[in-house]
Amino acid sequence: MTHSTLNATGHRAARNSALLLLFAGTFAGAQKPLPAASTTLIRNATILTVTKGTLQNADLLMEHGKIARIGTHLSAPAGATIVDGTGKYVMPGIIDPHSHSMIDAVNEGTLSVTSMVNIEDVLNPTAPAIYRELAGGVTTINVLHGSANTIGGQTITVKLKWGEPVDSMIFPGALPGIKFALGENVTRKDNPPPAGQERRYPFTRMGQEEVLRDAFTRAQNYRAEWAAYHAAVAKGAKDLVPPRRDLALDPLVQVLEGKRIVNVHSYRADEILMMVNLARDFGFHVLIQHGLEAYKIASEIAAAGDGVSTFVDSWGYKIEAEDAIPYNVAILMRHGVVVTINSDDDGRARRLNVDAAKEMRYGGLTEDEALRTITYNGAVQLGVQNRVGSLEVGKDADVAIWDADPLSVYAKVDQTYIDGEKFFDRQQDLARRDSLVALKAQLEKAPENQPPAQGRGRIVPPTTGGSK
């Protein structure tokens, strides 16, 4: 390697280091939880409990990560942080049941069945989307594999504890999930394979059903083999060879045993009904993701006890979404289906409160019903309703404080807490922006970030006849 090459490499490394420093500075103060006492009392606010009505001029006490008390004229323990909630609105942290935030990969699209891969392996705790979603009042997300496969990868529910390691973000006790997909994302009719490469099976919706039935039939047999092995061992059998582990079938056995949530990407009523019937045949439930035609079969979904997580008004982007209507949520809810609104998008995730408000216009939902679609109902779908989704004594202190009614398009989040710790504070965010501008200017002037001197730092091409 020549001196010039070394020089150029050194300058590139210096510039890259400076850029990393600037990126870290951009979110300075949010890399770790903002300073917070173990006890916080919010006073004189409008408290939207979601499940127990709205309380005016009320107080909420957060202690040791839990909601300790809700009422009026509460006294603060010694050393508690007091937050003046006058004119503010307090609601549970928003839950997004369909997110692809904070992941470094989304699809393992090579096979029809990739249940062996796990989205937990590619979680990125430094993704800026986490901080931005906290600024929108979001505290819990269901992080999904993509929809390239009939049976995709395993999914995970996390709390958005920005600045903490991944292990601290994983929602303790939440059921893991798995992603399925139906329709055109799987058949890839608009994405033919390169010349000379075979098209991946399946190519039709009937092929998708065959893949599902085949996989779960194999999972049933696999479970029976292990059950027989354990039964024999329990009876004292010696020198038995256990069945061969199958990493693709293990999560499907968990589905059959009710230990893993099935999230199904789907649009059309016919394919949704197929999935509902198939799940019934194998004895499990599904959470239908998107489900833009679910209103057509609301009675069947309700009878099966399955849930739907949908968009409030995002459609028309593909032929499958052509029959979407803004009344989907209301129709499903009136039939008794547990229904939620999701983002499926980092930007949309910051405005789920506005999406919920639209359902008061399209379907006549009450304020509490609209709020349920982004809080409590999501907790039910993810199996964590005993922990989050509403403001109740004993639940996790996942709380967002808004400067106006959160169902107003003008409302902004002032502070967001998870387990009683403050992870977003709008005033502190605004206060440090000038210092970040100054830091950027300082980095730009640093010697290591200046262009190399003339004739140095360049890779000089060899002359004719130069050495190899």
Query: How much is the pLDDT for 38?
Result: 81
pLDDT of residue 191: 76
> Strand 151-159 relative to strand 138-143: parallel, antiparallel, unpaired?
antiparallel
Q: Nearest-CA neighbor of 38 among 422, 323, 314?
A: 422
Residues 101, 314: Cα–Cα separation, whole Å: 18
Cα–Cα distance for residue pair 71/261, rounded to 1 Å? 36
| Structure tokens that stand for 159 in this block | 């709390």
Tokens 């997580």 label which residue?
A: 309
Segments of the chain with pLDDT less than 70? 1-37, 453-468
Domains, the chain, ordered by start: 94-388 (3.20.20.140)
Cα–Cα distance for residue pair 77/28, rounded to 1 Å = 31
- What does DSSP say about strands 66-71 and 81-84: parallel, antiparallel, or unpaired? unpaired
pLDDT at 32: 52
SS3 label, residue 60: strand
Interatomic CA distance for residues 447 and 450, integer angstroms: 5
- What's the DSSP call for residue 208? H
What residue spans of 127-204 are helical by DSSP H? 128-134, 166-169, 184-187
Extended strands (E) in 64-101: 66-71, 81-84, 89-92, 94-99
Q: What's the confidence (pLDDT) of residue 34?
A: 54
The per-residue pLDDT for range 158-187, each reduced to its tens digit, is: 999 999 999 999 999 999 999 999 999 999
**Parallel/antiparallel/unpaired status of strands 307-310 and 421-425:** unpaired
Question: Mean pLDDT for the chain?
Answer: 90
Q: What are phi and psi of 303, to 5 degrees?
A: -65, -35
Contact, 399 vs 70, CB < 8 A? no
pLDDT score at 6: 37
Of 156, 95, 144, the closest CA to residue 379 belongs to: 95
CA 77, CA 295: separation in Å to the nearest integer?
50
- Cα–Cα distance for residue pair 398/378, rounded to 1 Å: 14
Cβ–Cβ under 8 Å, residues 293 and 320? no
The verdict on whether omega for the bond into residue 326 sits within 30 degrees of 0, i.e. cis, is no
* Rg of the chain, C-alpha, whole Å: 26
Helix intervals (H) in 235-307: 250-256, 269-282, 298-304
Task: Give helix then strand counts, H and E, for the chain.
Answer: 14, 16
Helix (H, G, I), strand (E, B) or coil at 135: coil
Per DSSP, the three-state class of 396 is strand
Residue spans of beta strands (DSSP E) within 319-396: 339-341
